[in-house]
Structure 1
Amino acid sequence: MKKISAGILLFKREKDSIFYFLVHPGGPFWKNKDAGAWSIPKGEIMQNESLLERAKIEFFEETGKMVEGDFIELEPITQKGGKKVFAWALEKDIQTLGLHSNTIIINWPPGSGKTMEIPEVDRWEWFPSGEAKQKINPAQAGFIVQLEKLI
């Protein structure tokens, strides 16, 4: 079965520009990756779980902040590896200072039998539209394009 994730695309307007809140995955694999490596805060859903509720939980786990408001449902996208991602946009401003992520255990180096604990997310940043489209996972850029057509 293909994996399914749900997440939130936070955006804010400043003057005539739109900025998007993106997260950078933690750990040694992602350490030196930038363009195409950022993402919306998202995570895999559990069976029979509300997609929007999972998106809110993932946002909290990856930032330490709860979000509520008038969510805008976007059309799902499929990432290169086949994962289907559902997303909701929300216009809200949050400060990146003081954010924190949950941690996860990974096998590292791969195949070594060793494990290490890493933050799921190691950076949070607001990017203007053009830069956000370069930073985000290429398939997820479709969420930005959709939202900009709606607003």
Structure 2
Amino acid sequence: MATTSAGLLLHRTAAGGRQVLLAHMGGPLWGRRERAWTVPKGVVEPGEDPHVAAVREFTEELGFAPPGADAPDEPLGQVRQSGGKVVLAWARAADVDLAGLPAGPADPVVSALVTGNTATIAWPPRSGRTLEVPEVDRVAWVPVDQARGLVVAAQEALLDRVLALAAPPA
């Protein structure tokens, strides 16, 4: 059975147009890979409401709660990633200032380091050794057009759906 994850995609309007808050997957596997950015998301626990899981996972993955809880979240539907994982997502028009976080690498986008959940992985693969890595190592506000080439391919559909929403206030 496919894993189901739920995520919350923050979006805002900035000088260059619509931007989304993306998370970069942590660990050595994703360090140099293309399309290593994602909607902040995580596994829906058995019996858990997926929207509740999306908000919980945002907080756990990024280490801070999503702002704008008083605004309604817009359902973006679901996508199926190439490995079979189903991702349910919601959009929230909200802004978060990343200036208070330590600066991350500037390539391909200016990002901020975050401290959230960690995972234990076998590294190097099949070596018998383990390594504890962050599930997400940084976040960034990314213009939607640029985000298309950064996110896991199936999640591009979520970006299209965010653009179809009414523009949030600047």
For residues 44-82 of structure 1, the C-alpha deviation after alignment (integer angstroms, 9 at most, x for no partner) is 111111101111111011111112231001111111111
Q: CA deviation at 1:112?
A: 1.2
Partner SS state of residue 59, structure 2: helix
Q: Which residue of the partner structure matches residue 30 of structure 2? A: 30
Please give the TM-score of this superposition, normalised by the length of structure 2: 0.83
Q: CA deviation at 1:95?
A: 2.1
Residue identity (%): 37
Please give the TM-score of this superposition, normalised by the length of structure 1: 0.93
What is the CA–CA distance in structure 2 between the aligned matches of 1:134 and 1:84, rounded to whole Å? Answer: 20
State whether structure 2 residue 139 is matched by structure 1 residue 143.
Answer: no
Q: Which residue of the partner structure matches residue 103 of structure 1? A: 118
Q: Which residue of the partner structure matches residue 109 of structure 2? A: none
Q: What does residue range 1-150 of structure 1 map to in structure 2 within 5 Å? A: 1-15=1-15, 17-34=17-34, 36-67=35-66, 68=69, 69-96=71-98, 97-98=100-101, 99-150=114-165
Structure 1, unaligned runs of 5 or more: none
What is the CA–CA distance in structure 2 between the aligned matches of 1:114 and 1:103, rounded to whole Å? Answer: 16
What is the CA–CA distance in structure 2 between the aligned matches of 1:106 and 1:139, rounded to whole Å? Answer: 24
Could you tell me which amino acid in structure 1 is paired with residue 144 of structure 2? S
Partner SS state of residue 146, structure 2: helix
CA RMSD, Structure 1 to Structure 2 (Å):
1.3
What is the CA–CA distance in structure 2 between the aligned matches of 1:71 and 1:13, rounded to whole Å? Answer: 16
What is the CA–CA distance in structure 2 between the aligned matches of 1:107 and 1:53, rounded to whole Å? Answer: 30
Could you tell me which amino acid in structure 2 is paired with residue 26 of structure 1? G
Could you tell me which amino acid in structure 1 is paired with residue 88 of structure 2? F
Identify which range, 133-142 or 10-19, moves more after superposition: 10-19
For residues 10-60 of structure 1, the C-alpha deviation after alignment (integer angstroms, 9 at most, x for no partner) is 1011246100100111111011123x2200000111111110111111101
| Paired residue total | 150
Could you tell me which amino acid in structure 2 is paired with residue 41 of structure 1? P
